[in-house]
Chain A
Amino acid sequence: MAEGTQHGKTDFQIMIKYPAIMNRLPFRIIAPAILLMLLAGSGLYMFFHYVASDFVTRIIKNNLDERAADIYTIADKNLDELIQGGLSGDEKAVRIKKALTLSLVEDAMRENDLKGAVVEDGKTTLVVDELSPEILKAKPGGVKDNVASLVRYQGNGYYLYVLEFEPWKWRISLIKSEAEYSALISKVRLAYALAGIVLLLASFLFIYYLEWTIQAPLAGIISLLKRGEKPGYRGIHEFELLSDNIGAILQSLQHETEKLNSIYFIARSKRGKDFFDEVAVAIARMFDLNTFIAKVNPGGETLHVISQYANGELTGNIERPLDGTPCSDVMTNRQLVVIESGVCRNFPSPLLEAPDPAESYVCVPIFDRKGDIIGMVNVFGKQRTFTDADIKVLQTIGQMAAAEFEMLEKTVFLDSILHASTDTAIVAADLDYRVTFYNPAAEKIFGLKAEDVIGKKLAELKPMETANPGRFQRGIENVKSRGHHQFSYKTKQEGEFRHIDARIYGIPDEQHKPAGFVLMARDISDYKRLEEQLLHSQKLEAVGLLAGGVAHEFNNILMGIMGYASLLKNKIGHDDPSQTYIDNILTSSKRAANLTQGLLAFSRKQNINPRPVNINEIVRRVEELLIRVIGEEIELRTLLAAADLTVRADSGQIEQVLMNLATNARDAMPHGGILTIETGAVTLSEEYPKGHLRSGREQYALISLSDTGVGMDEKTRERIFEPFFTSKEVGKGTGLGLSIVFGIIKQHNGNITVYSEPGKGTTFKIYLPLHDGPQTEEPQPALLRPPVRGTETLLLAEDNAQVRNLVKALLQDAGYTVITADSEDALRVFEENRERVRMLILDVVMPKKSGKEVYNDIRKIRPDIKALFMSGYTADVVRQRGTLEEEIDFISKPISPDVLLRKVREILDR
């Protein structure tokens, strides 16, 4: 209160800005007055000038007219005398009369200060003043008869008047010098000057008058207002009225401002409950009444009294019903209620009976931005009257309370948002790096409790600092220069490394100046891990692509080796001692072929034959075999799912996967252990990185193989699926076992993961997409018949000469007639031998023309022609590329002679 009053003094010094000159009274009143007077003056001057000069001219002209008339009369009269005397026919008398008349004319001209001349029939008979002829020449032919006109000669003005006395053929020119009127003109000019001076004086007097009557009193009032004093002007009635009114307004304003100042002081310094308490006390003291500030509860039926100050006691947090109180009227009418006496008789409410029944009551509603009533400011107590100013003060308090309500609501809202963030740590700091906000997520990520952090400097927070010495501070420095800063770091929490991603932003104040910083941090460990996995599988895929390519080329070479070795073996006798060498060549070639098959499997280019099969079936089928593989020292436990787990798979391939993994487990448990195979169905959630699985499905069959072996470290774990990577002793493994597993699973659109730690065993988990359809019968493997011979003619189209010759040799060796062609001339060759050729053997991929194209062309001639396709790629790959239909016969390279001959025979016999 005391402070409020103190402020009041300065607040009441009316801030009068110095307005632009255009907005000042002298400019607005005196300037237009001057302008008006100048305009009127110049108008008047112009009028005078016009009228006066016109007047002078008219006088001169009139004068000249009159003189001309006189002169004419002289001539006329003399002529009359001549005629009346009967002498008009007397030449001498006429001569004499004319001379006399001329003399009279001259006299008249001289008497009237006229210059001029008389010309009779072209002859000048009279010249008055020697200048006359010159002046007359100054306006040759330009002078109209009987009209005065002005000519200039040697800088002087002359009025010219020419009259004609026709009877004697006299042209009489009269000249009047303007200078003779100089006295008149001077008088007129003097009159102008006097008029101007009088006008000027009048202007000054008028301005002085305005200054004296308007400007000076107003300036006096304004100067007092500037000094913050009450103007007490005495003089002109209207200004007195103005001055007194301003004084009264100032005084009332001073009172109100004092009241409001105390409230504003509270508003500036207090928040929330404190604010309402202090305001309640201030209002009560201001009006010497009781007061309460309440919030309307949702539904609008009850009040929540936040602060009440009655009889010197401050209470609050009271719930009150609205019904039956004057407050309900406020809710209904949405207007304030002012009752100056007898309120308790009309509204007997305990609310207003503390301790004596209230007489007067005022309730001012508090509105929110939407215009809804959210609360009320109430005063009540002894009987009293309320002025407009009182009500205004209460309304202002109501508005302040509304602002406070809104701010509280906003604060709560923002707080809950900030606290709701469970995975993002939000830490705010001021410019001194002192923490001002710290949310629960921050507690989790930084491992520090809010109460230990708030108010401390970032540098003092050991757990944060030890992990990142100076990192936060440096980040903030960056924020100062660049606006934001991002960094990530690794930290160990509860024995586990966590990846933290942190961002720091500047917080601007209202003037957009830096006010502090906010740090946002997230634990991105899971994300990091998945990212690493993705990278790893991408790496394996690249390796696979390479391996596949190499294997394909290598197959062609192997085919040569194996083919020709087989031919040679048949050529030489069974007892030939070279048989052993050839057998060795063939054995080595087969091993090499197995290796390329492994590589192709890894690179998912192996020929697979997927069918709907039950995983449990497969496990059961290989169980016995596995027991033999792992040996007696290792116990095999199988925990199979009760339900069938149907997947679309090549059962042989899956068997190989189980075999390879079991082999791996065995090697990990040199001193024995337990191998557990478990199957089940799992649903993979959205979060599971889909990039690992190609099926796009959610239901998977899970096969997990866990051993209790030596386990492996992270580095090993990351590389185990790479081909030729092995942790085993040299010569103990090919390094392709797990690569093949990886390739097969991937080829089945599945995924394989590994969990292992040194000394803690290893678990492989295989996910294969579950198949909706029924499981089909496993085809019985056809009995291997010995290679069959034939005599039919075959057309072989193969661009690789080496392969072409080998295949040709194999078939011819078996009794067939073989016609060879390259892709381009295959059609032509067929046409030449169309009667003989029974079957086509075509390489799928030929550089000039594909085998499929050749086949289609020939089918146009012989739609029933039989064909066998060969390729270095697996059938899957070829079919996936859309080059071959499902039903077409296909063998992949390297082609074993037996397989080739059997397949050819089978097709021919079909």
Chain B
Amino acid sequence: MRSLVAPIVWLLLILSPLSAHATEPITIGLSLGLSGRYAEMSRMQEKSFKLWEREINSRGGILGRKVKILIYDNKSDPQTVQSQYEHLMTGDKVDLLFGPYSSELNEVVVPLTEKYGYPIVASGSSLDRLWQKGYKYLFGLHALSSRYTVGFLEMLVQYDVGDIAIAYANDAFSQSTADGARQWAERLGLKILMFSSFKRDTKDLVEIARKARESHAHAMMVCGSFEEAVAMRLALKKTNWRPKAYYASIGPALQAFYGKLGADADYTFSSSLWERYGKLPGSETFYKEFLKAYGEEPSYHAADAYAAGQILERAAKKAGSLDREKIRTILSVMQTTTIIGRYGVDKTGKQIKHFPLIIQWQKGKKEIVWPKELSTAKPIFR
């Protein structure tokens, strides 16, 4: 009998790399702008991904394998993000990838992931044109930028707010959002009295604000970054113009917005892709876990990252392997619900099931004001 044992052990030893491979953690790579322009949102996402990693590993990982997330800091630089993703795919040879934050960075990364055949659930971009280029491995997670303002504009109609002035930064995402706003305003029969762009990262938007005021608009909309949302609020104050409604596409959804502006943040409208009051399954748990883990409230960016993890997990499970082609196919047809809402893409990979919420700061509190059915407060127009 003993003579038989040795060969079996030997055989097991030979086969050990296979079994070793089976127990190796699944590596999922990504690069985030942990510093620079997109740092605020990126850090939210980093925390969320880590949270998801912990949670999934606590549940036994994916397909019986632990998950290891590999995150690089790209300093919000397009060139860096490009080389980092290339390295992740060719050097690190990660099993799967998450996308970077911001449409700008996604635009430079996606051609590479397409090249190497890595499916990406776009947790950091909702730029319309990304889904007009025929990419096969890119799947949208939330509503497109052109749809961000729809709820706000609808309310302008409902509450007879009046004419609009739109200012937007000259980055792709902001432009797309502004174009969407204009299109929807027209559809809803709203008059646009000003439609002006400004250079991105402009600190002082007083001039624009003055121009908007002179247009006699009743509502001021700005499509830009967190910083620009803040800058425009300050510019309005400086120009002593108090439009009936002030809307900023990005920024106000973050607690930091209030942190920076204090009471001036009140009455500001914005779009949010997720809010803890959204009453969606797992949403509250996520909020609590995040708060518990990081001592701060998660923004929708954080929720996006978590949702991306949820989707990837479900796709891999459905595929029964890490075969990226199989996962890609499943992602293109799968319908599911995450903490941010429904997931479902059209054949271009564009998200068509998710819609954004409209929030308003009211007395230091972020309230959902649209859609009505999910609202936590009524909107206030001054």
Give chain B interface residues in 169-193, CB to chain A under 8 Å. Answer: 184, 186-189
Q: Which of A96, A98, A103, A110 contacts B346 (CB 8 A)?
A: A110
Say yes or no for A512: interface residue by CB 8 A criterion. Answer: no
Report whether B352 and A107 are in contact in the complex, using a CB–CB cutoff of 8 Å: yes
Q: Which of B150, B188, B350 contacts A95 (CB 8 A)?
A: B188
| Cα distance, A368 to B9, chains bound together (Å) | 120
Give chain B interface residues in 317-351, CB to chain A under 8 Å. Answer: 346-348, 350
Give chain B interface residues in 234-285, CB to chain A under 8 Å. Answer: none
B150, B188, B348, B350: which has the most chain A beta carbons within 10 Å?
Answer: B188
Contacts of A103 in B (CB 8 A): 147, 150, 184, 187
Contacts of A125 in B (CB 8 A): 186-187
Q: Which of B147, B154, B160, B347 contacts A96 (CB 8 A)?
A: B154
Report whether A111 and B158 are in contact in the complex, using a CB–CB cutoff of 8 Å: no
Chain A minimum-CB-distance residue to B180:
A103
Minimum C-beta distance from B241 to chain A (A): 26
Report whether A111 and B347 are in contact in the complex, using a CB–CB cutoff of 8 Å: yes
Report whether B346 and A95 are in contact in the complex, using a CB–CB cutoff of 8 Å: no
1/0 per residue, CB under 8 A from B, across A74-98: the answer is 0000000000000000001101101
Contacts of B348 in A (CB 8 A): 110-111
Q: Which of B158, B187, B350 contacts A98 (CB 8 A)?
A: B187
Say yes or no for A197: interface residue by CB 8 A criterion. Answer: no
| Cα distance, A107 to B348, chains bound together (Å) | 12
Given contacts A103-B150, A111-B347, contact A95 B352 (CB under 8 A): no
Say yes or no for A99: interface residue by CB 8 A criterion. Answer: yes
Given contacts A95-B157, A96-B154, A96-B157, contact A102 B187 (CB under 8 A): yes
Minimum C-beta distance from A104 to chain B (A): 10
| Cα distance, A840 to B186, chains bound together (Å) | 157
**Chain A residues bordering chain B, tally (CB within 8 A):** 14
Chain A contact surface mostly:
helix
Contacts of A98 in B (CB 8 A): 187
Contacts of A107 in B (CB 8 A): 346, 352
Report whether A99 and B187 are in contact in the complex, using a CB–CB cutoff of 8 Å: yes
Contacts of A110 in B (CB 8 A): 346, 348, 350
Report whether B188 and A99 are in contact in the complex, using a CB–CB cutoff of 8 Å: yes
Report whether B188 and A96 are in contact in the complex, using a CB–CB cutoff of 8 Å: yes
1/0 per residue, CB under 8 A from A, across B141-152: the answer is 000000100100
Contacts of A92 in B (CB 8 A): 157-158, 160
Chain A minimum-CB-distance residue to B132:
A110
1/0 per residue, CB under 8 A from A, across B197-222: the answer is 00000000000000000000000000
| Cα distance, A92 to B154, chains bound together (Å) | 9
Minimum C-beta distance from B71 to chain A (A): 34
Chain A minimum-CB-distance residue to B155:
A96
Chain A minimum-CB-distance residue to B146:
A103
1/0 per residue, CB under 8 A from B, across A478-496: the answer is 0000000000000000000
Give chain B interface residues in 334-377, CB to chain A under 8 Å. Answer: 346-348, 350, 352
Report whether A111 and B346 are in contact in the complex, using a CB–CB cutoff of 8 Å: yes
Minimum C-beta distance from B244 to chain A (A): 16
Minimum C-beta distance from A89 to chain B (A): 15
Minimum C-beta distance from A567 to chain B (A): 165
Chain B minimum-CB-distance residue to A99:
B187
| Cα distance, A490 to B346, chains bound together (Å) | 133
A95, A98, A99: which has the most chain B beta carbons within 10 Å?
Answer: A99
Chain A minimum-CB-distance residue to B347:
A111
| Cα distance, A17 to B184, chains bound together (Å) | 92
Contacts of B186 in A (CB 8 A): 125
Minimum C-beta distance from A74 to chain B (A): 13
| Cα distance, A116 to B149, chains bound together (Å) | 24
Contacts of A100 in B (CB 8 A): 150, 154
A95, A96, A102, A125: which has the most chain B beta carbons within 10 Å?
Answer: A96
| Cα distance, A126 to B160, chains bound together (Å) | 24
Contacts of B158 in A (CB 8 A): 92-93, 96
Minimum C-beta distance from B130 to chain A (A): 14
Minimum C-beta distance from A418 to chain B (A): 114
Chain A minimum-CB-distance residue to B345:
A111
Contacts of A111 in B (CB 8 A): 346-348, 350, 352
| Cα distance, A107 to B353, chains bound together (Å) | 11
| Cα distance, A111 to B132, chains bound together (Å) | 11
| Cα distance, A126 to B158, chains bound together (Å) | 22
Contacts of B346 in A (CB 8 A): 107, 110-111
| Cα distance, A102 to B183, chains bound together (Å) | 11
B147, B157, B347: which has the most chain A beta carbons within 10 Å?
Answer: B157
Give chain A interface residues in 119-154, CB to chain B under 8 Å. Answer: 125-126
| Cα distance, A92 to B160, chains bound together (Å) | 9
Chain A minimum-CB-distance residue to B154:
A96
Minimum C-beta distance from B154 to chain A (A): 5
| Cα distance, A92 to B189, chains bound together (Å) | 10
| Cα distance, A102 to B346, chains bound together (Å) | 18
Contacts of B157 in A (CB 8 A): 92, 95-96
| Cα distance, A871 to B347, chains bound together (Å) | 150
Report whether B347 and A95 are in contact in the complex, using a CB–CB cutoff of 8 Å: no
Q: Which of A93, A95, A126 contacts B189 (CB 8 A)?
A: A95
Minimum C-beta distance from B344 to chain A (A): 11
| Cα distance, A198 to B249, chains bound together (Å) | 63
Minimum C-beta distance from B185 to chain A (A): 9
| Cα distance, A98 to B147, chains bound together (Å) | 15
| Cα distance, A96 to B160, chains bound together (Å) | 12
Chain A minimum-CB-distance residue to B185:
A99
Contacts of B154 in A (CB 8 A): 96, 99-100
| Cα distance, A378 to B184, chains bound together (Å) | 125
| Cα distance, A102 to B186, chains bound together (Å) | 11
| Cα distance, A103 to B187, chains bound together (Å) | 9
Contacts of A95 in B (CB 8 A): 157, 188-189
| Cα distance, A126 to B147, chains bound together (Å) | 15
Chain A minimum-CB-distance residue to B159:
A92
| Cα distance, A553 to B108, chains bound together (Å) | 157
Minimum C-beta distance from A124 to chain B (A): 10
Minimum C-beta distance from A103 to chain B (A): 7
| Cα distance, A81 to B202, chains bound together (Å) | 44
| Cα distance, A787 to B168, chains bound together (Å) | 183
Chain B minimum-CB-distance residue to A118:
B187
| Cα distance, A99 to B158, chains bound together (Å) | 13
| Cα distance, A53 to B154, chains bound together (Å) | 47
Contacts of B350 in A (CB 8 A): 110-111
Given contacts A99-B154, A103-B150, 4 further A-B contacts (CB under 8 A): A96-B158, A102-B187, A107-B352, A110-B348
A to B CB contacts below 8 Å, 29 in the list: A92-B157, A92-B158, A92-B160, A95-B157, A95-B188, A95-B189, A96-B157, A96-B158, A98-B187, A99-B150, A99-B154, A99-B184, A99-B187, A99-B188, A100-B150, A100-B154, A103-B147, A103-B150, A103-B184, A107-B346, A110-B346, A110-B350, A111-B346, A111-B347, A111-B350, A111-B352, A125-B186, A125-B187, A126-B187
On B, residues with C-beta under 8 Å from A are 147, 150, 154, 157-158, 160, 184, 186-189, 346-348, 350, 352
The 8 A-B residue pairs whose C-beta atoms are closest, nearest first, are A99-B187, A111-B346, A99-B188, A96-B154, A92-B157, A95-B189, A102-B187, A95-B188
